[in-house]
Structure 1
Amino acid sequence: MDFSHEQSLIISEKGKQILVAGCSHTGIINIKNKAEEIVNNKISYIVAGFHLYNPVSRKVESNTLIQEIAERLKDNSTYYYTFHCTGKKAFYKMKEVLSERLTYLSTGSEIEI
């Protein structure tokens, strides 16, 4: 998969692997998998948009796709912090699956890892 237009940052500190990505145009699962391949370890925290909502067209991805992504992200103990391009509808749908492991960030939000 070509990630040349994506910008992501992996921080490894105190035994934790933190992935910071943009809007995940190539798919959050693809980006997560590539990051885990690079660090040869599971990612502990991901801060990224999931690109499930287009604010210009107001188009939201299908419930089926949102559910599938949430189920695939549930496969380990990673915590997720997401924002605008995930969209509120997709966020709440994914929150049903990921529970406390998914948090929505907005301007001015702070997280402590």
Structure 2
Amino acid sequence: MLSCSPGGYPDRMNEHDERGNTMTGVDPDRLDDQQLMKELETIHRTRHDTLLYGSNDALRAHNERMAQLEGEFLRRNPRRPVAAGRTREGARERGSGESTTPTTPGT
């Protein structure tokens, strides 16, 4: 039985591909849209525990996998909607005390 760190991650990772790099799952470009979103949700949910309790190797693998998944999401969704409050201009507006909550016209 594998022992686990406080974050619930195995203390040792034994799986390696042909090049000797730690395996991080299915190549993101082979996932369908639903699988990709599930993988992104999972990796974002586990991020905090990995940062706090994971070994350096676990954090490195997490960073690499997150970058792969997010890169694939951005490749597939180049025109994704961007909330005004998540832009540089929107951040400036938040600093001046204006609300970032979206409003509907006429309210």
Mark the structure with the bigger radius of gyration: 2
**TM over 0.5, shorter chain:** no
Structure with greater proportional helix content: 2
What is the TM-score with the length of structure 2 in the denominator?
0.29
